[in-house]
């Protein structure tokens, strides 16, 4: 496990390889689809583990506000997970890099972190957003994730711990090298 403590903010940033649904943290981030209805990958795993209450709440959120655009985030309760809140963010679909994907991916991390702060959370766990079926290349996605989180931390002073939870070994190695480099 790579772990750094940022000197300016006093926040611990870690990377682990594992299952985000089994993690104990104040909040976890769900790489959701725009309808917030659950699906494949981490989104489906979070919905299955959280139970039917999550789908009901997500349907109510979508009915109230419409689809969640890429780069935005909304919050729900944690239900059967070991977290207080789930932050649902919609990552961009990779279209070659010339369609604003990097900005929207960075926005996912920033807005999730700020929303967690607004909700009074102290720890937040992120999956690897958009690198599954949305096809974002893993290395640039990891670079954007780490940069966006570090840049947003001063705006979220209540956050003391950020975890990047990687499902696969390749992402784990990428995040580990990014966090260990100066």
Residue 102 CB neighbour total at 10 angstroms: 18
| Known catalytic residue at 168 | no
CA 171 to chain CA centroid, Å, is: 14
Q: Is 13 left (phi over 0), alpha (psi -120 to 50) or beta?
A: beta
CA distances from 41 to 21, 103, 154, 157 (A): 12, 23, 31, 31
Residue 176 CB neighbour total at 10 angstroms: 20
CA distances from 52 to 39, 46, 56, 92 (A): 14, 11, 6, 26
Question: Strands, E, within the chain: which ranges?
Answer: 2-5, 12-17, 27-32, 73-77, 85-90, 123-126, 161-166
Token pair, residue 167, equals 């499902």
Q: Which of 19, 26, 43, 168 is catalytic?
A: 43
Active site residues: 43
């Amino acid at each position: 496990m790579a772990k750094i403590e940022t000197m300016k903010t006093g926040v611990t940033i870690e990377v682990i390889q594992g299952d985000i649904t089994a993690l104990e943290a104040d909040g976890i981030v769900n790489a959701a689809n725009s309808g917030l209805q659950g699906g494949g990958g981490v989104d489906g795993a979070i919905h299955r583990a959280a139970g039917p209450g999550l789908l009901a709440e997500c349907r109510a959120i979508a009915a109230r506000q419409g689809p969640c655009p890429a780069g935005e985030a909304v919050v729900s309760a944690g239900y059967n997970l070991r977290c207080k809140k789930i932050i649902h963010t919609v990552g961009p679909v990779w279209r070659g890099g010339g369609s604003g994907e990097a900005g929207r991916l960075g926005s996912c991390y920033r807005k999730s972190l700020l929303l967690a702060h607004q909700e009074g959370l102290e720890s937040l766990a992120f999956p690897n957003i958009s690198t599954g079926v949305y096809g974002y290349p893993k290395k640039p996605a990891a670079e954007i994730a780490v940069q966006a989180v570090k840049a947003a931390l001063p705006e979220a002073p209540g956050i003391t711990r950020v975890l990047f939870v990687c499902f696969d070994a390749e992402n784990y190695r990428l995040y580990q090298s990014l966090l260990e480099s100066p």
